[in-house]
Amino acid sequence: MIRLESIPAMSEWSNRIRAGGERLGFVPTMGALHEGHLSLVRRSLAECRRTVASIFVNTLQFVPGEDFERYPRDLERDASLLSKEGTDALFTTNVEEVYPPGFSTRVVPGPLGDLYEGKSRPGHFVGVLTVVLKLFEIVRPDRAYFGRKDAQQLALVVRMVRDFHLPVEIVPCATVREEDGLAASSRNAYLKAGEREAARCLHRALARARAAWTEGEREAEALRGILRETIETTRGASLDYAAVVDPGTFEEASGRLPRALALVAARVGGTRLLDNQRLDADEP
């Protein structure tokens, strides 16, 4: 696996790949890699002649007071995991190179950027879209792989690609879960002994809503109630939001639903966790 440690090195490598006519797959990450990330890498390796992963803990998407400083970082472990998978290249850079003095332009999402995650973390998606656009410009991949774990982020990236006519295909990838149902996340490492059980309430809430749907429940308010109640009655968990939305538009749904996506976020101790689940269908 080749290590590309600057923007020019990354761009040059990618230019060469493109000149050779090889399809380039891209997996952007913030590191602290787990099975979720690796599933994206495997998908890219299966579909593209070349795969590059990036690791960059993006300052711009952290809201003041969040965990930027303590976000888990272990570059050598990550590099070894990626190399074992057969990843062709690892791109790393740093805050000074990505946001040099004078940097000022940002990508502002539409109204969806201010809901759910965006409401709890004002400015978060401006940071996400800005860095994703930059990475697309630097890497110029044919395909980029994103997890459904971050469903709202995925929807906003798809929207940006359309809105800006970006020549990249976004590939959504299924959420990878740990054995007890908890969605794999770099932030799971923050969970203290005893908090794990409380953390499972997100998955439990989604599974209950899904089961209710399967049994015929279609009322948005009832489904939201199941999500809310499951999390609110879990000791050690504090609900941030529980929403039932249209999977296409992310608009908060009401009345009887033909299809639905459930979104939940909660705090367990000092850790903020999020998860989501289609209620009407298995995700492809």
Tokens 């296409």 locate to 248
Q: Give the helix, strand, coil percentages of the chain, each rounded to 5.
A: 45, 20, 35
CB atoms within 10 A of CB 253: 24
* Size of the residue set binding ligand AMP (CB under 6 A): 17
Options 94-102, 181-189, 194-202, 262-270: segment touching ligand AMP (CB under 6 A): 181-189
Check binding of 150 to ligand AMP (CB under 6 A).
yes
Find out whether 5 and 89 touch, Cβ atoms under 8 Å.
Answer: no
- Return d(Cα 274, Cα 272) in angstroms, integer: 7
Instruction: Say if residue 71 is exposed, middle or buried (CB neighbours under 10 Å; 0-12, 13-18, 19+).
Output: middle
- Residue type at 78? D
Check binding of 176 to ligand AMP (CB under 6 A).
yes
Choose between 118 and 257: whose C-beta lies nearer to ligand AMP: 118
- Return d(Cα 68, Cα 93) in angstroms, integer: 16
* Shortest reach from residue 142's CB to ligand AMP, in Å: 17
Choose between 184 and 273: whose C-beta lies nearer to ligand AMP: 184
Site mask, ligand AMP, residues 70-109, x = CB under 6 A? ----------------------------------------
Q: Which of 185, 230, 271, 276 binds ligand AMP (CB under 6 A)?
A: 185
Residue 24's SS3 state is: strand
Find out whether 41 and 31 touch, Cβ atoms under 8 Å.
Answer: no
Q: Which of 14, 17, 24, 29 binds ligand AMP (CB under 6 A)?
A: 29
- Residue type at 165? H
Site mask, ligand AMP, residues 39-58, x = CB under 6 A? xx------------------
Options 87-95, 183-191, 222-230, 232-240: segment touching ligand AMP (CB under 6 A): 183-191
Of 159, 146, 161, nearest in space to 26 by CA: 146
Active site residue 37: yes
Check binding of 200 to ligand AMP (CB under 6 A).
no
List, by residue number, the catalytic residues. Answer: 37
Binding site for ligand AMP (CB under 6 A): 29-30, 36-37, 39-40, 146-147, 149-150, 173, 175-176, 183-186
